[in-house]
Structure 1
Amino acid sequence: MAFFVGNDITSHLIVGQVLSDVLRAGHTPYICYTHQQPGARAEPELRELFRYERTLLHSWVHPYLDSLPAPLHGTLLSPAGIAKLHRDKAVVRVVEDVNDPAFIAYLAAEDVRAGFSVRCYQKFRAPLINHFRPEPGEPALFANLHPGILPRYRGVLTFARSMLQGETEAGFTLHRVNEDWDAGGIVSLSTAPLRYDRSVLENMTDQRGQAAGLLLDAIEQAAAHGRWTDRPQDPAEAGYYSHLRRADLDELHRKGIELFRPRAVIELLVDAFTRAGSPESFELRGILAGITSRRPEAVGTPV
């Protein structure tokens, strides 16, 4: 099975949590890391969110972990750490274009027949989707783990949209991939209460265990039956949200809703990738605290 993984904290936490169960079940995961670039015209708050949600992980946490003599057992791993520790059981790749014909041919040659997108922001095209069809005309064994309750909250930053709307809960939806954004049949759904004393990012990462459970259930069903049962989304209930605009960000501020809290992000990364009380945890916490105490531009520039 292939995992198409975004370059954000949440997707790495979810896939890292799933990995041990997938390996224990005897499956060979093909973990395909993808990348999203910051929007050139994004508002300052969104650029800062990008730095904390993505750049800290890739420019500082992963290089620090990869500098250690060996991967830290019992913690989440960097892509290089997964490749090193599980080199005979998992395949790790960086994929620039998931729709590249050569990449699809590679999946076919490796007989990878089920796919899962975890916050991959590339648009999946028909050739890749068709690769995951068990037979022509059958639904593809290809699902997207969407952070948002479908069909009402399609699009991006839907936890922020849910909090702007004053919702009492938010969640993750596992749905089939088709060529439309977030529109395929719903395979499964999980929800949890929103906490307005926590940031948008914290509310989303708090649900990573439930999100991982959706993936594991679908993997088990695919392995046992080669199919999923799904229900179509009702277009009349659908709502699609693009990136937050200035007015949206101002409203978040007026309502006292934070996109993220820097100290909480640091603690989340340290707790996920090092053992509590270990020398590595103190060292990584110090590195991240030092980097984030500098001017914002420094967050993306290792020294």
Structure 2
Amino acid sequence: MKVLILSKRDLTSTVMLNDLLERLATLPDCQPRVVLAERTRPVELAVPELTRMKYLERDLPFGTLFPRLEAENGQGTAGRLKTPNQLARHYGIDIGVARHIEDLALTDALASFAPDLIVSARFSFLIPPHLCVRSRHGTVNVHPGALPHYAGLYPHFFSMLAGETELGCSLHVIDEGIDSGPILAEGRVPIRPGRSAFAHNLDSHLLGNRLIADLVKSLHDDRPIEPVPQRKSKVKSNTYPTSAEFESFHRAGHSLIGEGEYRDILDRFGIDEENLEIAAATRAG
């Protein structure tokens, strides 16, 4: 089965892809291809918290750390997480980068790869209906939040802000709305005191990887999962948090990202540099 994975060119997605590609490699006849979205929204340059997360998730890893790691380690070190370029070489797959929805990296993947299933996980662009039908089994999305109440952006943040004890993960069919399609599978991960929004978001996506692998196996075995329509009690589809919401989040004792958590992730890639300028960025966030 050919699976086209649409994700994001950032640190969280890279960790997620390491886990997902390893899972898919164990499934019979599974051929993945990946397209990573590279996009900066104006709000990410205007709101300080979002600017810091952009630096830690995209600018520092892809601008400095990953190129240096690739120059030092080539295809990567056994047992370590791999950069997207290293993953492409390790699995012998294509990993492209799309900067808009009609980018050749995406349109070529749809035309020449002819996927049986399209999976969106952290993809930065809305997928229009005419692209959703370009695969035999349709297009599904991994949403790191419980639906319908936490549709839209930053569901991990808004779940923590609301005082939830668990963070949802929803695998759903993509329709013409935003996170509004029928549900294929759901799960929950605990929201633990002291862990950041960054860490909980990654927890939810790693759970989502298991849901994706189960779906791919079910489709391969000709056991399609029946989607369940969502309830229509959605309060709103969230956008990026406002400055006031960030202030409330911090006053409640929450953090966007912790320095220790961030350094632990870098260490899993084999990046061990004590002089990295990350303390201020993580402390502020």
* In structure 1, distance between residues paired with 2:25 and 2:239: 36
* In structure 2, distance between residues paired with 1:123 and 1:109: 21
Q: What amino acid maps onto 1:286 in structure 2? A: E
Q: Answer yes or no: is 1:269 the counterpart of 2:255.
A: no
1:50 to 36, 46, 54: 54
Q: Shift in Å at residue 108 of structure 1? A: 3.2
Contact 1:28 1:91 (C-alpha < 8 Å) held by counterparts: no
Q: Answer yes or no: is 1:247 the counterpart of 2:248.
A: no
* In structure 2, distance between residues paired with 1:93 and 1:13: 17
Q: Answer yes or no: is 1:290 the counterpart of 2:280.
A: no
Q: What amino acid maps onto 2:96 in structure 1? A: R
Residue in structure 1 matched with residue 113 of structure 2 by the alignment: 110
* In structure 2, distance between residues paired with 1:214 and 1:247: 34
Farther off after superposition, 149-158 or 232-241: 232-241
Structure 2 counterparts to residues 121-136 of structure 1, below 5 A: 121-132=124-135, 134=136
Could you tell me the TM-score, scaled by structure 2's length?
0.88
Q: Answer yes or no: is 1:63 the counterpart of 2:67.
A: yes
1:173 to 147, 150, 170: 170
Contact 2:14 2:84 (C-alpha < 8 Å) held by counterparts: no
Q: Answer yes or no: is 1:13 the counterpart of 2:15.
A: yes
The 3 A distance-change label for structure 1 pair 101 and 229 is farther
* In structure 1, distance between residues paired with 2:82 and 2:101: 23
SS of 1:235's partner is coil
Residue in structure 2 matched with residue 279 of structure 1 by the alignment: none
1:30 to 1, 20, 33: 33
* In structure 2, distance between residues paired with 1:285 and 1:16: 19
Q: Answer yes or no: is 1:94 the counterpart of 2:92.
A: no
Q: Give percent identity, aligned residues only.
A: 23
Q: Shift in Å at residue 158 of structure 1? A: 1.1
Residue in structure 2 matched with residue 228 of structure 1 by the alignment: 225
Unaligned runs of 5+ in 1: 135-139, 275-283, 297-303
* In structure 2, distance between residues paired with 1:262 and 1:39: 26
The 3 A distance-change label for structure 1 pair 96 and 224 is farther
Farther off after superposition, 205-214 or 45-54: 205-214
Q: Shift in Å at residue 238 of structure 1? A: 4.5
Unaligned runs of 5+ in 2: none
Q: Answer yes or no: is 1:74 the counterpart of 2:79.
A: yes
* In structure 2, distance between residues paired with 1:192 and 1:242: 22
Could you tell me the TM-score, scaled by structure 1's length?
0.83
Q: What amino acid maps onto 1:48 in structure 2? A: R
Contact 1:153 1:241 (C-alpha < 8 Å) held by counterparts: yes
Q: Shift in Å at residue 226 of structure 1? A: 7.1
The 3 A distance-change label for structure 1 pair 253 and 98 is same
The 3 A distance-change label for structure 1 pair 266 and 60 is farther
Q: Shift in Å at residue 126 of structure 1? A: 1.9
* In structure 2, distance between residues paired with 1:159 and 1:99: 29
Q: Number of aligned pairs?
A: 276
Q: What amino acid maps onto 1:185 in structure 2? A: P
The 3 A distance-change label for structure 1 pair 222 and 51 is same
SS of 1:285's partner is coil
Q: Shift in Å at residue 73 of structure 1? A: 2.3
Q: What amino acid maps onto 1:28 in structure 2? A: Q
Q: Shift in Å at residue 100 of structure 1? A: 4.8
The C-alpha deviation readout for 1:53-73, integer Å capped at 9, x for no partner, is: 222321233212211243222
Alpha-carbon RMSD across the aligned residues, in angstroms, is 2.2
Q: Shift in Å at residue 232 of structure 1? A: 0.7
SS of 1:15's partner is helix
Q: Shift in Å at residue 19 of structure 1? A: 0.8
Q: What amino acid maps onto 2:206 in structure 1? A: G
Structure 2 counterparts to residues 165-244 of structure 1, below 5 A: 165-225=162-222, 227-244=224-241
Contact 2:97 2:105 (C-alpha < 8 Å) held by counterparts: no
The 3 A distance-change label for structure 1 pair 103 and 242 is closer
Contact 1:39 1:47 (C-alpha < 8 Å) held by counterparts: no
